[in-house]
Amino acid sequence: MRRRSPRRFLGVLAAATVAFTLFSSASTAGAADTASQAASTSSAARSADAAVQPLSTSTPVVFVHGYTGSASNWVTAMSVFRLNGWSSSNLFAYEYDSYGNNITNAQGLAAFVNNVKSQTGASKVAIVNHSMGGLVSQYYLKVLGGNTSVSHLASIAGANHGTTYAGACLIYTTCQQMYPGSSFISQITSGDETPGSTQYATWYSACDGVIIPYTSTRLDGATNNSVLCQTHIGFLADTSVLGEIADFIAS
Point out the residues that are catalytic.
131, 208, 232
Contact 250, 56 (CB under 8 A): yes
Identify the CA nearest to 93 among candidates 73, 107, 118: 73
Judged by DSSP in three states, 114 sits in helix
Q: How many CA atoms lie within 13 A of 132 on its CB side?
A: 30
**Amino acid identity at 185:** I
Classify 188 in phi/psi space as left (phi over 0), alpha (psi -120 to 50) or beta.
Answer: alpha
Backbone phi, psi, residue 194, to 5°? -130, 70
146 alpha-carbon distance from chain centroid: 16
Count of CB atoms within 10 A of residue 140's CB?
A: 30
DSSP state of 248: H
- For residue 193, the tally of other CB atoms under 10 A from its CB is 18
Chain center to CA of 43: 27
